[in-house]
Amino acid sequence: MKKHWQILQPDIDSVKKISNALKCNPIIASILINRNIVSVEDAFDFLNPSFNNIRSPFSMKGINTAVSRIYSAIINNEKILIFGDYDVDGITATTILLEFFSYIGANVDYYIPHRIKEGYGLQKNHIIDYALPKGINLIITVDCGSSSYDAVKAAQNIGIDVIITDHHRITDRPLYAFAVVNPKRTDCTSGLDNLAGVGVAFYLLICLRKHLRDNSFWHTLPEPNLKNFCDLVALGTIADMVPLVDENRILVNAGFEKISTNKRNGMKALIEECKLKAPLTDTDDIAFKLAPRLNAPGRIDHAKTAVELLTTKHLDIAKQIAQTLNKLNIQRQVIEKELTDNILFYLNKNPHLLQKKTLVLSNQGWHEGILGIVASRLAKRFFRPIVLISTKDGIGKGSARSVPGIDLYDGLMNCATDLENFGGHSMAAGLKLKAENINLFQEHFEKAINNMTKKINFEPITTIDYELDFDNISDKLIDDLEDLKPFGSGNHEPLFMAKNVKILYSKIVGKNHRSMLLKQNSNIKNKAFNAIHFNIDKNKPLNDRFDKIAFRLRWNHWNGTKKAQIIIEET
């Protein structure tokens, strides 16, 4: 699908103001303004992420109530159960609470449901069949719980307190929890809405550690440095694709520092299994290498394997688990490709389905653990909200993904009467419904998205940060671009445009990548740069020039040296 290119035009006076004040390249100042960082103070803070700039964790609604209840459970040796989600965000959030509570000697255990057998979130049967027989006094959810009304009510009825920590969208329907710590509560004014589930859990620990300090808890035990958990906070935050701005930028930046020290055996083993080299500096290494392997057991087998990797003290065990995760990830890739190919074949036979603004597909026996990934791929390819539903025994379980500008959660809210339950974000959600209601849901969902997007042109847009002539590319500029990291949602890697580019040399490398040497015809300084264009159609004829290219600019590290490299995104 051809994309429309939009070249951003930041205010010239604002660019000069930031560039002069911070003594930075006007290109860098332009990129900052493109990210809505318009004041000198905010620009300085962005380029110098520091824990001094995080907003107060105590400002989060419900967190003081939660901390007081947890403290009571700790000093009275009550049984605490951490209940987590099966994705990387939930796994890392579970791990940091488990390690903290274990360190202070709390009576703690954890539980992560099986994705296929149990489904998402805390449910009534978890209370009756697990928590009650185990004598659990307090349940703390992480990265889930905001839609677990029946389960929380069941817990309350039998005297088990529930503290919900979550970051998913939450309705005004009353929750009978002891405390709800979710920055997306309508009555929470903390401004911490962008935190991932692991970020909320980390903030809970900040407040709990202080509460313990205020009650003289640390006089016999060294107070832990919570920055040591930032490797896991970074991992969960990047994997969950929340905006890497404000607190998330600070947490992820600190996390990369901790990952580089390789103190956690599970992380060390996983990095080695991925054939990566420390220190890691690129969010892509986490998003596309570490995270898929940590997600794999939750999709194919059981997510507790990933928790075991991150918590083990033994390097040999960590290496064994990392190998297992790698095998599960390969298995996941095979299943994913098969499902994607089948759906694309079906759509090729039924092209009328793509005339709608949404795509809702269902099939009996589709692997539930893969639906989200495939839906993401289809949403990106066809640029519309996608819902994939697997049916079994009259029940459909689905994953939904959206595209920028279309709030998926709002769309599902408008179809709530068709669904048994659902939860998620504006870009991703999970849902459950009776199989007999799928056609009705499909009709209502299409209508809901139509009503929401009447003024939206369903055309993917490529946003260009700056038209950059080759003459202005320098080693200093690439170094300055590195200071804008970590890149991700909310802070995408800068995308440049250049016109009238000549191809001096070209060859295919790997299976379908094109390596080139490029020069701009208008280039006064006669500069030429190495370039790579990934995943191209190598059978498509190539001219000796490009009218224009959209590209990223990076260092290419090889054999101890580095050279400037252009990464072509579109032509």
CA angle 234, 235, 237 (to 5 degrees): 65
The verdict on 433 and 469 lying in the same domain is: no
Q: Is residue 294 part of a domain?
A: yes
Q: Is residue 43 part of a domain?
A: no
Q: Provide the pLDDT for residue 1.
A: 62
Domain limits for position 182? 57-261
Helix pair angle (197-214, 230-239), 10° resolution: 150
For residue 541, what are the contacts with CB-CB under 8 A and spacing of at least 6?
A: none
The verdict on 253 and 284 lying in the same domain is: no
Q: Is residue 42 part of a domain?
A: no
Q: Provide the pLDDT for residue 540.
A: 84
Closest CA to 5 of 402, 533, 381, 497: 497
Closest CA to 401 of 392, 390, 391, 411: 411
**Alpha carbon 151 to its chain's center:** 27
The verdict on 187 and 336 lying in the same domain is: no
pTM for the complete prediction? 0.93
CB atoms within 10 A of CB 193: 14
Tokens of 203: 């903030």
CATH number at residue 523: 2.40.50.460
Tokens of 385: 């909200």
CA distance 270 to 315: 11
Q: Is residue 457 part of a domain?
A: no
How many folded domains does the chain comprise?
A: 4
Contact (Cβ atoms closer than 8 angstroms) between residue 97 and residue 209: no
Contact (Cβ atoms closer than 8 angstroms) between residue 194 and residue 246: yes
The verdict on 320 and 467 lying in the same domain is: no
Q: Is residue 23 part of a domain?
A: no
Q: Which residue do the tokens 């020290």 mark? A: 261
The verdict on 277 and 246 lying in the same domain is: no
Select from 452, 481, 498 the last residue of a domain.
452
The verdict on 278 and 248 lying in the same domain is: no
496 forms beta bridges with 466, 551
Select from 452, 474, 489 the last residue of a domain.
452
Q: Provide the pLDDT for residue 215.
A: 96
Q: Provide the pLDDT for residue 453.
A: 84
Q: Is residue 335 part of a domain?
A: yes
Tokens of 153: 């009510």
The verdict on 255 and 336 lying in the same domain is: no
Which parts of 315-437 fold into alpha helices (H)? 315-349, 371-382, 408-413
Q: Is residue 47 part of a domain?
A: no
CB atoms within 10 A of CB 438: 19
The verdict on 162 and 227 lying in the same domain is: yes
Q: Provide the pLDDT for residue 543.
A: 84
The verdict on 381 and 484 lying in the same domain is: no
The verdict on 115 and 228 lying in the same domain is: yes
180 forms beta bridges with 164
Q: Provide the pLDDT for residue 2.
A: 67
The verdict on 182 and 63 lying in the same domain is: yes
100 forms beta bridges with none
**Residue 352: exposure state from Cβ atoms within 10 A (0-12, 13-18, ≥19):** exposed
Closest CA to 85 of 107, 102, 108, 110: 110
Per-residue pLDDT tens over the stretch 301-336: 999 999 999 999 999 999 999 999 999 999 999 999
CATH number at residue 359: 3.10.310.30
Give a three-class secondary structure readout of 182-248: CCCCCCCCCCCCCCCHHHHHHHHHHHHHHHHHHCCHHHCCCCCCHHHHHHHHHHHHHHCCCCCCHHH
Residue ranges, the chain, pLDDT below 70: 1-2, 455-457
Which parts of 464-533 fold into alpha helices (H)? 475-482
Closest CA to 231 of 140, 87, 95: 95
Q: DSSP string of 272-325?
A: HHTT--SSP--HHHIIIIIHHHHHHHHHHS-THHHHHHHH-S-HHHHHHHHHHH
Contact (Cβ atoms closer than 8 angstroms) between residue 81 and residue 136: yes
The verdict on 415 and 539 lying in the same domain is: no
Q: Is residue 383 part of a domain?
A: yes
- Classify strands 179-181 and 108-111 as parallel, antiparallel or unpaired: unpaired
CB atoms within 10 A of CB 335: 17
CATH number at residue 61: 3.90.1640.30
Select from 289, 316, 349 the last residue of a domain.
349
For residue 336, what are the contacts with CB-CB under 8 A and spacing of at least 6?
A: 370, 373, 374
